[in-house]
Structure 1
Amino acid sequence: MDEENLRKVCAEKAIGYIKNNTVIGLGAGRNIACLIELISKEIQHNLKIKIVTPSDNTRSLCIKYGVEVVPTCFVDEIDVAFDGCGEVDEMFYASKGGGGIFSKEKLIASMAKEYILLIDEKKLTKKLNCKCPISLEITKDSLAYVSTMVRSLGGNPVARVSYNKDGYLITDDGNLLLDIKFEDIRDLKKLNNDLNEINGVIATSIFTKEVTKIIVAGDAGVRIISRT
C-alpha cells in the first residue's frame, strides 16, 4: 500500500472518533491534511464541530475546506485530538519537534480527553530511540545556560536557524528552538524529566503521557492500539 493510501485508511478510521457538536484538536502533517478533507465531506452531511490547532498550515486548510476554527485560548477542553509524529513506541512514548510547534501540540494533547496519533507502520518502534534530535523550546535569554546544562546531560545542542532570514528561528511566541542529539539514551523518561527541569525550558518534543491511542496503517490494513 502506498503512502497516500496509508494516510487515507488512517483518516477513515479516525473519523469514527469524531462526534457531532464537539471540539476537535488537529495537529499538523499529511495525515492530518487527509483527515481534514474527510471532515469537510462530513460537514456537508450536517456534522457540526469546531477545530483548534497549533498549526498555521492546518488552520489554512480548515478554512479552505470550510471547517470552523476557533482560538485555542477560548477552549478549556477538547473531546478528541489527532496528530502525527516522527516516531512512537509500544509504551506510547512519542517523538515530535520537526515542525517546531510541539509545545502548543502538547497543550492541545493535555486538553484532550483522547489524544490519537495517526501513523504508518514504519513509525511504530518497540522502544523509542530518538533517531531524530530531541527538540526544546526555550526562552531566548536562556540559550547559553540551557545549552550548558544539556551538555552536562550528554547532549549536543544546536540552536535551530531560520532559512527565511539571517539568525535563529523564532517561534510565534518569541522563543528559540534547540535541537539536541544524544548518542545513548538509557532512560528516556528520566532524560525528559531532567530536560523539563532546566530553567528556561518551556517544553520538550518528547510526549511520555499524552497519547491514548495509535491508529497504525500498514500493508495488512489498519489497527488501533490503546493505552488501556
Structure 2
Amino acid sequence: MNEDNLRKLCAEKAMESIKNHSVIGLGAGRNIACLIDLLRKAMDENNLKVRIVTPSDSTKRICIKNGIEVLPTSFIEEVDVAFDGCGEVDENFYASKGGGGVFTKEKLIGSMAKEYILLIDEQKYKKQLSVIYPISLEVVKDSLGYVSKRVKTLGGDPLVRTTNSKDGYLVTDDGNFILDVKFNAIEDFKELNNKLNDIVGVVGTSLFTREVTKLIIAGENGIRIIQKN
C-alpha cells in the first residue's frame, strides 16, 4: 500500500473521533493536511461544523484556504480532540516533537484536549524513545546562559537553534530562544523532562510525557490503533 493511501486511511480513522460542532486542535505535517481535506469534504457534503485551533502557520493557511474557521488558542478553554504528528513515540506514550519549534504551543493544545491523538507512520513507533533527536527547550532570552549551564549538569550538550532567514538565533513567536540539547543516553525520559521543566527560564520542552492518549499508526498492513490505558 503506498504512502498516500496510508495517509488517507489514517485520516479517515481520525475522522471517526470528530463530532459536529466541536473544537479541534491540529498540528502540522502531511497526515494533518490529508485530514484537513477530509474535514472540508465533510463540511461540504455532510454539513459538518467545526472550529480549529493550531500552533502551525502552515496549517492555519490551509484551513483558511479551505473555508475552515480558525480561532486564536487564547480564546479557547478546552479542545474536544487534537491531532498531531511527532518525531518518535514509544510504548509509554512518550513522544518527542522538537523539529517545528512550536512544541510549547503544541503541548498547550494537547493539554487542553480531551483526546490528544498522534497520526504516525509505523517506523516512528518505538519500544522506547531513542536519543536520535535532541530534546528542544524553549527558554526565556535572559535565561540562556543559566539554562545552558544547568542542562550540562544533567548530561546534555546544548546548542542554540539558528535560522537561515536572518543572522543569529531563531526567535519564537513569543520572543524566546530554542535550545536543542543532545543526550548520549537517557534512562528515564519522564524524570528528565521533570528536571528540565524545573529549571527557571525553561518555558517548555519537546518531550510529551503526559498528553498523548491515542496513536493511529499507518503501516504496510494498514492502520492500527493503540489507546492509552
Do the two structures share a fold, i.e. TM-score over 0.5?
Answer: yes
Paired AA for residue 26 in structure 1? L
SS in 1 for 2:196: helix
- Secondary structure at 1:51's aligned position in 2? strand
Rounded Cα–Cα distance in structure 2 between residues aligned with 1:107 and 1:66: 25
What letter matches 1:116 in structure 2?
Answer: I
- In structure 2, how many angstroms separate the alpha carbons of the residues matched to 1:179 and 1:124? 22
Q: Please give the secondary structure, in 2, of the residue aligned with 1:81.
A: strand
Partner of 2:33 in structure 1? 33
CA distance in 2, matches of 1:197, 1:2: 44
Q: How big is the shift at 1:15? A: 0.6
Describe the SS at the equivalent of 1:20.
Answer: coil
- Secondary structure of the equivalent of 2:119? strand
Residue in structure 2 matched with residue 6 of structure 1 by the alignment: 6
1:28 CA displacement: 1.1
Give the secondary structure class of the aligned counterpart of 1:141: helix
Alignment RMSD, CA only? 0.7
Tell me if 1:62 matches 2:76.
no
1:113 corresponds to: 114
Q: Deviations over 1:159-202 (max 9, x none)?
A: 00011000000000000000011001111111111100001000
Q: Give the gaps of 5 or more residues in structure 1.
A: none
Give the corresponding residue for 2:135: 134
Aligned-residue offset at 1:130: 3.0
Any conservation in 1 of the 2:131–2:185 contact (CA below 8 Å)? no
Q: Distance in 2 between matches of 1:14 and 1:38?
A: 10
* Distance in 1 (alpha carbons) for counterparts of 2:184 and 2:105: 27
2:108 pairs with 1:99: no
1:46-96 C-alpha deviation (Å, 9 max, x unpaired): 000100001100000001111111111111011000000000001100000
Amino acid at match of 1:42: A
Hey, what does 1:155 align to over in structure 2? 156
In structure 1, the partner of 2:87 is: 86
Unmatched tracts of structure 2, length 5 or more:
none
Deviation at 1:157, TM superposition (A): 0.3
Any conservation in 1 of the 2:131–2:184 contact (CA below 8 Å)? no
Amino acid at match of 2:58: N
For 2:36 and 2:62, the matched residues in 1 are separated by 7
8 A contact 1:95–1:130 mirrored in 2: no
What secondary structure does 1:44 align onto? helix
CA distance in 2, matches of 1:31, 1:177: 26
TM-score w.r.t. length of structure 2: 0.98
Cα deviation 1:134-165 (Å, max 9, x = unaligned) = 10000000111100001110000000001100
Q: Deviations along 1:15-40, whole A, 9 cap, x unmatched? A: 11101011000011111111101101
Instruction: Count matched residues.
Output: 228
- Identical residues among aligned pairs (%): 66
Which aligned runs of 4 or more in structure 1 are off by greater than 3 angstroms? Answer: none
